Structure 1
Amino acid sequence: MLSTYLSREAARKLRHGAPWLRREDIISMEGEPQPGTPMQLKDEDGHVLGLGDVDLQASYAVRRLGLPDESVEGLIPRHVRHAFERRGRLVDDPRFCRIVNDDGDGLPGLIVDRYDQHFVVQTLTRSMDARQEEITRTLGEVTGAASVLLRNDTLRRKALGLPAQRPHVMYGTPPRWCRLLEMGARFTVDLTYGRGTGYSYDHRELRRFLGRTGNGDRVLDVACNVGGLFVHAGRHGAKHILAFDGNADAADLARENAEANGLLGRVTVEQGEPLAVLRALKDTFDLVLLDTLGVASEEDFIEQVRLALRRTRHGGRLLVVGYHPPLALGSFTECVATACEQEARIAFRLVRMGLPPDHPAPVGSPGAEYLEAVALEVS
């Protein structure tokens, strides 16, 4: 096995749990790194630090594979099996969750979401691109997957400098539309063309919070996707829900999911982009749901929060979801506070939320905590 030698400081970081390093941390290499072929990572004195994927074209040129004492033989099946068992202990219903979450499961650049017997995969490094066949085979052997669908058509790949690929069937016959259960709610999602991998499993803690609120509320959801948030508000007592999404197919699924959960007559879903919706509405609501996934900058984020505050009545609640990027790490709370100040609204934090247990991340890797959310009571 070829070796990559790292600087003393980089070796120290790796020993202390860093999951990735930059190109300038590399002192020397034996040969050329090949996608999908791990290299042995060593310090300047030749002491072995573990295994890693090395890609000199990537922002993070070195990605740690597993733990320092692991062997390369059977690494992918071993980590998938461990991730599968981990969800069985952590998730309410492991049939519907994220099964593999990147560095958090020792497999950098690999995302696997489960929809009962159907699995949706994203590969986010050239090394994992090269392992697609092995990943598919492993899912069949470890989980008994009925189908595996590759979803490498996301903007995230473009941001990482990787080519976009059309949705591609790797195994079996995956359905385009699939039903899932989550905390008592039923959803139909689009595995082939839906946002991300079809459903936002990373919003589960937000949905859990909405299960504790909503009695008699008038709710506004300005970017509802397939209805994951507003459905839970409705199931727990919201009396009227007005929801929007810019994607016509997502809006159709949101209507279908509202009906499937007994919300017929209480929910209106229309097509519309968040900024246009917030600028056009004049009413105020008891609960405003603001998912800012589409914003391009911190300035755009602050603008959406400002407009959402205007739509929140005195004493009402505002749930804000932010992402890194475009928000800089550590800037979420400051940006929300800036929006409140600009609107001259006093807000009290009720609860701060992040990623659920099926999205583990290495400690000390703030970039992996890409989602933040806060529920505010607004005066």
Structure 2
Amino acid sequence: MLGGHLWIFSGALQQAPRWVEAGGLIDVKSSTGQFVARGYYNPQTDIAIRILTHDPEEEIDAEFLRRRIRSAVALRRVFDPDITNAYRLIQSEGDGLPGLVVDRYADVLVAQVHTLGMERLWPLLLPPLLEETGAKGIVLRNDSQSRRREGLAVEEPVVVAGEVPEKVLVRENGVQFEVDPREGQKTGFFLDQRDKREALRKYTHGKRVLNCFSYTGGFSVYAALADPETHTASVDVSAPAMEAARQHFLLNDLDPGKHAFIVADVFDYLEEARRRDEQFDVVILDPPAFAKTQSARSQALKAYRRLNTLGMQVLRAGGILLSCSCSGVVGMDDLLGAISMSAQRLHRSVQLLESYTHSLDHPINLAMPETAYLKAVFCRVE
């Protein structure tokens, strides 16, 4: 914690602060009585205190929250809104506001509150979010199951400020997408893959591209835009996601009739494609998190090995594999190890071409490497 970490676990407390109500603010002092930090407290969770400041003179009030929001907004000014107007605005600990995530889609903000302490601060957050961003509407999506661990209710999405349309048209690297801020996965779109989607373009000219766990076809649209001769096949278990993917092709003046949209379990599809001896030039594996807790890590690693083995079996010699993991308990070395083991099993060699983690709108507090979750690698498989 003295090194800048923002969590204090319950086992590290010499004395449980029973005089502070759950979610309330508290000062943390050393065994000698010296001020260490100020944060909010929840006795129901392993992470008992989440730090907001290490400055004893800094009060946690409306002005404090405004300063943090203003700092987050300043960082995102690197985005030209004429090219990219969809990005993460506030990344929890990465922006000094643990428990809060806010994504921006054009003039709409979608907020998620994950912790009890941040829930208590929420009324103070609403005015500066509107005023510092100029947003025309805010949706509060407290529908994450992770809230239960904090003793919070899982709620239906609700518009808490201004007006929010059912669908919001956004730009990402000049590519257009339509986002559902109320019902879409996460907050409506997978913003953390923006730079990987852009990086994919150079590999897909005139190629056959398989996009697994494609959701609404983000990677597929980027791939298809690279070359009129590129053919993409998008696979996802969600029929509504596949319909949205078709609409994204139309939105970007691409003919969806020249591409495939397949509603299927990805593992089943890959098994069947292997039996058909079907081959692709580029295979994208971007699954949901296989492990959200340390206890699930072992099973997750097995799943990554199986998935990458199946992906390589439908990848032609010399083809490009983009393999991703958003499991926080699975590190980059774990992902590379799974890919290497899959290649060894198939007697194939792999060249690591590029590796990615988070883009700049998903900053990580350097003192908290465990909050990094995203890994993506481009490999050539011989």
What is the TM-score with the length of structure 1 in the denominator? 0.90
Matches within 5 A, 1:192-271: 192-237=182-227, 239-264=230-255, 265-271=257-263
Distance 1:157 1:230, change over 3 A: farther
**Quick check: 203-212 or 292-301, which moved more?**
292-301
Cα distance in 1 for partners of 2:148, 2:326 equals 17
Q: What residue ranges of structure 2 are gaps of 5+ in the alignment?
A: 292-299
In the alignment, structure 1 residue 72 sits paired with structure 2 residue 74: no
In the alignment, structure 1 residue 368 sits paired with structure 2 residue 371: yes
Offset at residue 87 of structure 1 (A):
0.9
Matches within 5 A, 1:345-364: 345-364=348-367
Offset at residue 66 of structure 1 (A):
3.7
| 1:360 match: secondary structure | coil
User: Is the Cα contact below 8 Å between 1:97 and 1:115 reproduced in 2?
Assistant: yes
Q: Which one of the candidate residues 39, 44, 58 is aligned to 2:26?
A: 39
Distance 1:121 1:224, change over 3 A: same
| 2:186 match: secondary structure | coil
Amino acid of the structure 2 residue aligned with 1:275: F
Match of 1:272? Answer: 264
How many residues are matched? 365
Cα distance in 1 for partners of 2:268, 2:150 equals 30
Distance 1:276 1:158, change over 3 A: farther
In the alignment, structure 1 residue 285 sits paired with structure 2 residue 280: yes
| 1:24 match: secondary structure | helix
Cα distance in 2 for partners of 1:272, 1:230 equals 16
Q: Which one of the candidate residues 80, 83, 92 is aligned to 2:72?
A: 83
User: Is the Cα contact below 8 Å between 2:106 and 2:169 reproduced in 1?
Assistant: no
| 2:89 match: secondary structure | strand
User: Is the Cα contact below 8 Å between 1:66 and 1:107 reproduced in 2?
Assistant: no
User: Is the Cα contact below 8 Å between 1:288 and 1:308 reproduced in 2?
Assistant: yes
Amino acid of the structure 2 residue aligned with 1:224: S
| 2:203 match: secondary structure | coil
Distance 1:242 1:367, change over 3 A: same
User: Is the Cα contact below 8 Å between 2:116 and 2:151 reproduced in 1?
Assistant: no
Distance 1:22 1:376, change over 3 A: same
Matches within 5 A, 1:84-233: 84-89=73-78, 91-93=79-81, 95-157=85-147, 162-233=152-223
**1:164-202 CA deviation, whole Å, 9 max, x = no partner?**
222122122212211110001000121111110001111
| 1:27 match: secondary structure | coil
Amino acid of the structure 2 residue aligned with 1:41: V
Offset at residue 329 of structure 1 (A):
7.3
Match of 2:4? Answer: 17
User: Is the Cα contact below 8 Å between 1:329 and 1:367 reproduced in 2?
Assistant: no
User: Is the Cα contact below 8 Å between 1:148 and 1:169 reproduced in 2?
Assistant: yes
Cα distance in 2 for partners of 1:286, 1:339 equals 18
Match of 2:341? Answer: 338
**1:91-147 CA deviation, whole Å, 9 max, x = no partner?**
344632100000011000100000121100111111112233322232122222211
Cα distance in 1 for partners of 2:123, 2:23 equals 11
**Quick check: 292-301 or 224-233, which moved more?**
292-301
Offset at residue 230 of structure 1 (A):
1.3
| 2:47 match: secondary structure | coil
Match of 1:8? Answer: none
Cα distance in 1 for partners of 2:171, 2:101 equals 20
Offset at residue 160 of structure 1 (A):
6.6
**Quick check: 24-33 or 243-252, which moved more?**
24-33
Flag as ranges the 4+ runs of structure 1 deviating above 6 A.
none
User: Is the Cα contact below 8 Å between 2:108 and 2:164 reproduced in 1?
Assistant: yes
Cα distance in 1 for partners of 2:213, 2:148 equals 23
Distance 1:158 1:321, change over 3 A: farther
Distance 1:326 1:30, change over 3 A: closer
| 2:340 match: secondary structure | helix
Match of 1:10? Answer: none
Matches within 5 A, 1:289-304: 289-293=284-288, 295=290, 297-304=300-307
Q: Which one of the candidate residues 12, 15, 20 is aligned to 1:28?
A: 15
**Quick check: 307-316 or 323-332, which moved more?**
323-332
Amino acid of the structure 2 residue aligned with 1:368: T
What is the TM-score with the length of structure 2 in the denominator? 0.90
Offset at residue 223 of structure 1 (A):
1.1
User: Is the Cα contact below 8 Å between 1:323 and 1:370 reproduced in 2?
Assistant: yes
Amino acid of the structure 1 residue aligned with 2:342: A
Match of 1:9? Answer: none
In the alignment, structure 1 residue 52 sits paired with structure 2 residue 39: yes
Match of 2:294? Answer: none
